[in-house]
Amino acid sequence: MYHRGPEFAELLAECQIRLQACFGTTDPVLTLSASGTGAVEAAIANLVAPGERLLAIKTGKFGRRIGDIAQCYGAEVTWLDCPPGDAADPHLLQRALSESRFDALGFAYNETSTGVAQDLAAIAAAAVENRVLTIVDAVSAIGGIPINMEANALDAVVGGSQKALMLPPGLSFVALSPRAQLKLQQTTCPGYYFDLSRALDALRKGQTPYTPAVNLFSGLREALRIIHREGLAEVFRRHHCLGVACRAAMTAAGLALLATDERCASATVTAVRMPEDLDSSELVRRVRERDNILIAGGQDDLKGRIFRIGHLGTCGIDNLAAPVAAVADNLAEMGCDIDAASAVTAARDAFQTCQESSDAYDTGL
Ligand code: PLP
């Protein structure tokens, strides 16, 4: 497909409308031919000028990456540290934001390295009150967890193709509020390829500034249609219930979750503490080799100490039951006293109860 022709413009326009629904905005969503980190870097390079002050919430690997990138671009970065498995405490955040003046606040909404989702409404309220621009890494949230960008008055929200959007890696997204678009005009981006004002101008013409990964854009349209057919509210609810089910299974198996506060547990990835004296790299290897299922280990300081189960995208309860059984079986083989059958039953029961309940799970839609 020729990327300067009407066919691509039509494809881009459809993706735009459906992406806006996933982000909860009517503002432009720029699609970059780069992995998620590219879009995080683009957002920072275009919205935070050298010498400006950014508060970065360090929930784990991806919260830290935002601050690291901002430092690369000459920003003055202050860190708000959170213990692994915890979300940012809104009171501490409010205090940090009010004690000194910041230009921007950066955080990972869904911290993939620890399975933690932030209290978005509380963070957004603190950001609005203290008039800081918000730069949100929602790479592992978009398409699986509601973010309601407009209602939460977020300024720059980043997504990625290879998580809940079910695509191969290679596309990422930056949605920009009117305030972020204004800041974009006022900030000189030191880069060329990731200068978002060029991407914004091109989007208005139904194009991207440079040759896009056209094949992935075609896939994106299909993925977004799949989401649309299921219904965004249903997709969000299914992910919420998969999270509930995975945590129920792990708890039934006698394992400890890294995120102990249910209110900040992620709907797309669950991080579980490894039993004492066992290394999660060994579990990951066994599950891959014996069951042909990919789970993840811990990253950085959590290497060997946790394992993570992803439950996002096309995932249903059967797809979750398989890794639950594999984890439990392999842990039993590694010497743990674990009953795989009861873990799977707990997952199925919790999922069904959650899907059938009319509880106040609010998608904001
Ligand atoms: N942010 C989050 C929350 C992620 O989970 C990831 C990848 O796992 C990234 C950023 C980085 O994305 P990529 O590896 O596509 O550059």
- Assigned domain for 112 exists: yes
- Alpha-carbon distance of 353 to 361, in angstroms, equals 13
100 Cα–ligand 1 center, Å: 30
Q: Is the pLDDT of residue 364 over 90?
A: no
301 Cα–ligand 1 center, Å: 17
Token readout for 142 is 């978009």
- Assigned domain for 286 exists: yes
Predicted local confidence at residue 182, as pLDDT: 98
- Assigned domain for 158 exists: yes
Q: What is the chain's length?
A: 365
143 Cα–ligand 1 center, Å: 14
**Residues 88 and 160 reside in one and the same domain:** yes
- Assigned domain for 100 exists: yes
Report the nearest-CA residue for atom 8 of ligand 1. Answer: 112
CATH number for the domain harbouring residue 16: 3.40.640.10
**Residues 194 and 136 reside in one and the same domain:** yes
**Residues 183 and 105 reside in one and the same domain:** yes
What is the CB < 6 Å shell around ligand 1?
Answer: 35-37, 62, 108, 112, 137, 139-140, 160, 169
Pocket test for ligand 1, best of 35, 61, 62, 114 (most atoms within 8 A of CB): 62
CB atoms within 10 A of CB 20: 17
pLDDT in tens, 204-229: 999 999 999 999 999 999 999 999 99
Domain boundary among 230, 247, 262: 230
Predicted local confidence at residue 289, as pLDDT: 98
* The model's pTM: 0.97
C-beta of residue 273 within 8 angstroms of C-beta of residue 258: yes
Predicted local confidence at residue 136, as pLDDT: 99
**Residues 244 and 207 reside in one and the same domain:** no
With both helix axes pointing from N to C terminus, report the angle between 178-186 and 196-204 in degrees, rounded to the nearest 10: 120
Predicted local confidence at residue 363, as pLDDT: 82
169 Cα–ligand 1 center, Å: 10
With both helix axes pointing from N to C terminus, report the angle between 232-252 and 317-333 in degrees, rounded to the nearest 10: 20
Report the nearest-CA residue for atom 13 of ligand 1. Answer: 36
Pocket test for ligand 1, best of 112, 113, 158, 171 (most atoms within 8 A of CB): 112
C-beta of residue 66 within 8 angstroms of C-beta of residue 106: yes
**Residues 68 and 168 reside in one and the same domain:** yes
Predicted local confidence at residue 361, as pLDDT: 74
Average pLDDT, the chain: 97
Residues 6+ apart with CB under 8 A from 100: 53, 78
**Residues 182 and 90 reside in one and the same domain:** yes
Residues 6+ apart with CB under 8 A from 123: 57, 88, 90, 93, 105, 107, 134
**Residues 150 and 273 reside in one and the same domain:** no
Report the nearest-CA residue for atom 12 of ligand 1. Answer: 36
99 Cα–ligand 1 center, Å: 31
- Alpha-carbon distance of 78 to 266, in angstroms, equals 25
Pocket test for ligand 1, best of 37, 110, 312 (most atoms within 8 A of CB): 37
Question: How many Cα atoms within 13 Å fall on the side-chain side of residue 206?
Answer: 12
- Assigned domain for 365 exists: no
131 Cα–ligand 1 center, Å: 27
Question: 147: which DSSP letter?
Answer: -
- Assigned domain for 142 exists: yes
300 Cα–ligand 1 center, Å: 14
299 Cα–ligand 1 center, Å: 13
Q: Averaged over 67-79, what is the pLDDT?
A: 98
Q: Is the pLDDT of residue 359 over 90?
A: no
Question: By three-state DSSP, how is residue 19 classified?
Answer: helix
Predicted local confidence at residue 84, as pLDDT: 97
Predicted local confidence at residue 198, as pLDDT: 97
Residue-wise burial string across 166-201, b where 16 or more C-beta atoms lie within 10 A, e elsewhere: bbeebbbbbbbbebbbebbeebebeeeebbbebbbe
Q: How confident is the model at residue 168 (pLDDT cuts 50, 70, 90)?
A: very high
Predicted local confidence at residue 360, as pLDDT: 66
CATH number for the domain harbouring residue 339: 3.90.1150.10
Domain boundary among 230, 259, 293: 230
Atom of ligand 1 at shortest range from CA of 35: 15
Report the number of distinct structural domains present in the chain.
2
C-beta of residue 242 within 8 angstroms of C-beta of residue 351: yes
**Residues 26 and 97 reside in one and the same domain:** yes
- Alpha-carbon distance of 16 to 21, in angstroms, equals 9
pLDDT in tens, 8-41: 999 999 999 999 999 999 999 999 999 999 999 9
Question: By three-state DSSP, how is residue 106 classified?
Answer: strand
- Alpha-carbon distance of 145 to 310, in angstroms, equals 13
C-beta of residue 143 within 8 angstroms of C-beta of residue 238: no
Q: Is the pLDDT of residue 116 over 70?
A: yes
C-beta of residue 167 within 8 angstroms of C-beta of residue 223: yes
- Assigned domain for 34 exists: yes
**Residues 171 and 125 reside in one and the same domain:** yes
Closest CA to 191 of 38, 320, 334: 38
- Alpha-carbon distance of 340 to 249, in angstroms, equals 9
**Residues 105 and 39 reside in one and the same domain:** yes
Q: Averaged over 277-296, what is the pLDDT?
A: 98
- Assigned domain for 1 exists: no
295 Cα–ligand 1 center, Å: 16
Percent pLDDT > 70 in the chain is 100
Q: Which domain holds residue 25?
A: 6-230
**Residues 175 and 213 reside in one and the same domain:** yes
Domain boundary among 197, 230, 263: 230
**Residues 222 and 296 reside in one and the same domain:** no
C-beta of residue 202 within 8 angstroms of C-beta of residue 195: no
Predicted local confidence at residue 276, as pLDDT: 92
Q: How far is CA 126 from CA 119, 179, 193, 213, in A?
A: 11, 17, 33, 38
